[in-house]
A and B are shown apart, each in its own frame.
Chain A
Amino acid sequence: MAGVPLKKTGGFLPIRTNGFDRGFISVVILILVHLLWMRFLEGVLPLWVATGLCLALAVFIIRKG
Chain B
Amino acid sequence: MRQSNIGWLFLAPATLILLVVGFIPFIYILYVGFFDWNTNAVDPTLRWAGLQNYRSLVFDTTFLNSLARTLVFAFFVVVSELLLGYVLARALMADRLWVRQFFRTIHTLPIVVAPIAVGATWRLLCVPGFGIVPYYLKQWFGIDYNISTNAYHAFATAIIMDLWHWTPFVTLSLMAGLTALPKEPLEQAQIDGGNKLQIFWYVIVPMLKPVLLTTVFIRLMDALRSVDEIWMLTKGGPAEATRFIGLHIWINVFPKTDYGYGAAMSLLTLYVTIVLSWLLFVAMTGRKGDAQ
- Chain A residues with CB under 8 Å of chain B are 6, 9, 14-17, 24, 28, 31, 34-36, 38-39, 42, 47
Contact = CB atoms under 8 A, between A and B. Distances in A.
24 contacts: A6-B287, A9-B289, A9-B290, A14-B288, A14-B289, A15-B282, A15-B287, A16-B287, A16-B291, A28-B271, A28-B275, A28-B278, A31-B271, A34-B51, A34-B54, A35-B54, A35-B58, A35-B268, A36-B58, A38-B54, A38-B55, A38-B58, A39-B58, A42-B55
Contacts of B54: 34-35, 38
Contacts, number: 32
B270 to A, nearest CB: 11
A16 B54 CA distance: 33
A31 B58 CA distance: 12
B282 A24 contact: no
Contacts of A15: 282, 287-289
A31 B272 CA distance: 11
Nearest to B290: A9
Interface residues of B, number: 15
A34 B55 CA distance: 10
Interface in B265-292: 268, 271, 275, 278, 282, 287-291
B287 A47 contact: no
Interface of B: 51, 54-55, 58-59, 268, 271, 275, 278, 282, 287-291
A39 B55 CA distance: 7
A42 B58 CA distance: 12
A25 to B, nearest CB: 9
Contacts of A6: 287
Ranked 5 nearest A-B pairs via Cβ: A39-B58, A15-B287, A16-B287, A38-B55, A38-B58
A39 B59 contact: yes
A13 to B, nearest CB: 9
A24 B278 contact: yes
Contacts of A38: 51, 54-55, 58
A24 B291 CA distance: 22
A17 B282 CA distance: 10
Contacts of A42: 55
Contacts of A34: 51, 54
